[in-house]
Structure 1
């Protein structure tokens, strides 16, 4: 991967990691319903990107499916899962998307992982699990099934995104927004209560978080991510996004006073070793 593209991917991970902190503050401190918040986020994404909506990319079913998987599937199912699952256990299950994406990329895209990259993926994944796994806070629940569904949806969406061609990033975001806001709104109506009153009570902090989530995370972060997925193997991109939860943990320690210990430090080091192994250029044989 070119150094410039790696820097862009790390910027995307930083934006997404910051969004974890922002969303946590919105849901915990402002008591905003997660599904309603996600629905408004994708509605705002659609309203900003609607000038790029048409012409409808072909095959039409694929762009709608990818938008639904990457938007409502990836974010909505996690929100539902966190109603009953603990954040630590959900973080572990979400990372199952990395090997799932690697396997899907082999079977659906005919990508070749290779021994060196496969070893790097395994090392990075093991390090991420080491950082985020808390034996005392992990318990099997129905919520984890929704989180696993989110990991499956995001992985499938990423692979399908790789097969999507002749689509501009903002056009893609417009379809993510239109495909996701309505299902999330319907889910919010069925599962949440007093949505309007709770969002109004959030005031300006809620509006700022909403704008950040829609503009920075989706329109900027996901647009850059879309370009990178189009340029590199899906299994490479998905593995490098393991840096995102590590950044979120670091900001959680610095901003919200989250716990950090030796196990998490060693796990972070293991992830960095795996990432370095993945990015190491393959040695060419001399003629």
Structure 2
């Protein structure tokens, strides 16, 4: 699961480069729909949440994240900024569900943001500000989606992703036809290599990665599973640096380390709180 998520940043960067950002996003969501389509069904009382989740996480999230990778060169910095979804989720949980947190998680939230802000002062990452801003926006969309998913407990994961694939295909397809008509017309002529990057993202990251997460959470406590996902962004940073030959400076590693420390604190403390309240999936 961590390998699928960690290496996905390379696949998405290659897809948006060889195809185009919005068209690549459309193809990814269409493939997710194709794989999960047999699970597409009306879920009484949950359709508003499923629709909102599909438009947000299947559409707007990928608009922001694909554009961020299209405009960035040092995608390792974006992998670090992508971890802002965790503190964003915590802040939204406080606002929406009135969750109470103690000093350790407050400190974790602060460290997460401080580590990403530190990247701006690194000459190797400072020119990636547009990409970092778009990644932060995508992280916020993801965080809102995580809040919506709390209202979907009991809905099969493949049904959720079928709706995400459907609404994502609609949102990304409409935008791509407006902004990238040439790329959309060129889909039948795309080389298998370019489609392979899309397939890795759709099947590897979404279906296998998210499916593995669901499998684990159904069999083990959240407090055990969630902290183990912290390996994914570390894999992303080093894999992207190796594949694309982008530098990993001392300041970037420091900022990444601070951000990951903050994310780890929030993740582990949240899992521990869930365990203390008898929360297991």
Q: Give TM-score scaled by structure 2 length.
A: 0.77
Q: Tell me the CA shift for residue 116 of structure 1.
A: 1.9
Determine the structure 2 residue equivalent to 1:258: 246
Q: Tell me the CA shift for residue 34 of structure 1.
A: 1.4
More helix by share: 2
Which of these residues, 162, 179, 197, is aligned with residue 174 of structure 1? 162
Determine the structure 1 residue equivalent to 2:279: none
Q: Tell me the CA shift for residue 54 of structure 1.
A: 1.8
CA RMSD, Structure 1 to Structure 2 (Å):
3.6
Alignment partners' CA distance in 2, 1:154 and 1:196: 26
The count of corresponding residues between Structure 1 and Structure 2 is 267
Tell me the secondary structure at the aligned position of residue 163 of structure 1: helix
Question: CA, structure 1 residues 257+146, in 2 after alignment: closer, same or farther (shift >3 Å)?
Answer: closer
Tell me the secondary structure at the aligned position of residue 220 of structure 1: helix
Q: Tell me, yes or no, if structure 1 residue 215 matches structure 2 residue 203.
A: yes
Deviations 1:227-275 (A, max 9, x none): 7889759xx96x9867544322200222221101222333344345445
Q: Which deviates the most, 18-27 or 145-154?
A: 145-154
Which of these residues, 37, 42, 63, is aligned with residue 24 of structure 2? 37
Determine the structure 2 residue equivalent to 1:116: 104
Alignment partners' CA distance in 2, 1:193 and 1:258: 32
Question: CA, structure 1 residues 192+133, in 2 after alignment: closer, same or farther (shift >3 Å)?
Answer: farther
Which of these residues, 47, 62, 65, is aligned with residue 52 of structure 2? 65
Q: Tell me, yes or no, if structure 1 residue 23 matches structure 2 residue 16.
A: no
Question: CA, structure 1 residues 138+127, in 2 after alignment: closer, same or farther (shift >3 Å)?
Answer: closer
Determine the structure 2 residue equivalent to 1:5: none
Alignment partners' CA distance in 1, 2:70 and 2:119: 23
Q: Tell me, yes or no, if structure 1 residue 76 matches structure 2 residue 59.
A: no
Please give the residue correspondences for 1:41-190 in structure 2 after superposition, counting only pairs within 5 Å: 41-80=28-67, 94-130=82-118, 134-135=122-123, 138=126, 147-190=135-178
Q: Give TM-score scaled by structure 1 length.
A: 0.75
Alignment partners' CA distance in 2, 1:119 and 1:146: 24
Alignment partners' CA distance in 2, 1:139 and 1:77: 18
Tell me the secondary structure at the aligned position of residue 166 of structure 1: coil
Q: Tell me the CA shift for residue 207 of structure 1.
A: 2.3
